[in-house]
Amino acid sequence: MEIIEENVHYLKQLKFHNPFFMDGMQKAIDKVVKAVNNREKIIIYGYSDVDSIYGISILFLLLKYLNADVEYFIPDDMDEEYRISSESLKDYIRYLGADLLITVGCGSNSKKEIILAKQLGMEVIITDYHEIYEDCKQAILINPNKKFCKYPFKYLSAAGIAFKFCEAISMYYKIKGVYKYIDLAMLGTISSKFPIKEENRTIVDVGLEHLAATNNYGIKALIKINRFKEFNEGMAVKLVESVISTKSVVGRIDNARIAVELFTTHDSYRALQIAKYLNKEVLKK
């Protein structure tokens, strides 16, 4: 495809690796295209950590842009092994009518839960970075740390991998504007434990360039209420810290869901109100 060659050239200019170097990427794109074209229900599943919030938001925005039938789901608890919750699958996600489940930053070691999802009629795509302890052929696994995966950079965050997934989707659909989500990927990368080097350095540097002219209403609202003037890495760290309170588990999970709404709303007034609410929650720490 012509646009793919053009995008690959652009990726090289920005020192991004081709997302199709990620093992399983083509199969995952085929599943997404089928779901979008057939108006199948897509559920994005992620945890309440800040990195996942940004990753969920990136994927949700792009799929919404493609007019997909998509919702996101954040479970009420966080498993230490970052597994999918079987209770969530049985009690909530199945009743949303899910045909395709896509995880963000979790699920690599969810063999039993993936089998359950398949029994409930769902296809599963795992996007994750965690070390893999159990192999499951029932799902498509996009994880740079997967055995035999030739992707050259192994330290992408949940948001970074979600962004690479969206890069690949954009190549298929010939979308040139996917880099407008790089600011979200940048914030997710900064919030993660991963070193800011190589491709993460590129994500952060390009993301900071986009930050001053961001078209994301949620980021604009956070910048406004915090009166940020300089767009540098220190400011980005403060922006990340203004998103979510960790005072209580329940509060964190509720605020995670609200934070995803903040970064995915197309209503500037709504974004401002959510940003003000989250800012008050953070001050309660």
Asked which of 13-22, 45-54, 185-194, 258-267 is least confident by mean pLDDT, the reply is 13-22
Closest C-alpha to 102, from 115, 90, 114, 92:
114
Residue 276 clears pLDDT 70, i.e. is over it: yes
| Other residues' Cβ atoms within 10 Å of the Cβ of residue 160 | 29
Residue 27 clears pLDDT 70, i.e. is over it: yes
> Dihedrals φ, ψ of 124, to 5°?
-130, 130
Average pLDDT over residues 221-236: 91
d(CA 137, CA 268): 43
Q: Grade residue 119 by pLDDT with cuts at 50, 70 and 90.
A: very high
For 153-184, how does the pLDDT look when each residue is reduced to its tens digit (9 = 90+)? 999 999 999 999 999 999 999 988 888 999 99
Residue 219 corresponds to which amino acid? I
Structure-token pair, residue 166:
């969206």
Give me the residue spans of the domains in the chain: 2-283
Closest C-alpha to 283, from 229, 240, 247, 254:
247
d(CA 100, CA 43): 6
Q: Say what the pLDDT of residue 77 is.
A: 80
> Which residues sit opposite 127 in a β-bridge?
104, 142
d(CA 61, CA 248): 28
Q: Report helix, strand or coil for 32.
A: helix
CATH of segment(s) 2-283: 3.90.1640.30
Q: Grade residue 281 by pLDDT with cuts at 50, 70 and 90.
A: low
Residue 258 corresponds to which amino acid? I
Closest C-alpha to 139, from 88, 101, 97, 165:
101
Beta strands in the chain (DSSP E): 41-46, 69-73, 100-104, 123-127, 140-142
Q: Say what the pLDDT of residue 91 is.
A: 93
Write the DSSP assignment of 165-222 as a string of letters: HHHHHHHHHT-SGGGGGHHHHHHHHHHSSS-S-HHHHHHHHHHHHHHTT---HHHHHH
Closest C-alpha to 273, from 282, 264, 262, 281:
262
pTM, full prediction: 0.92
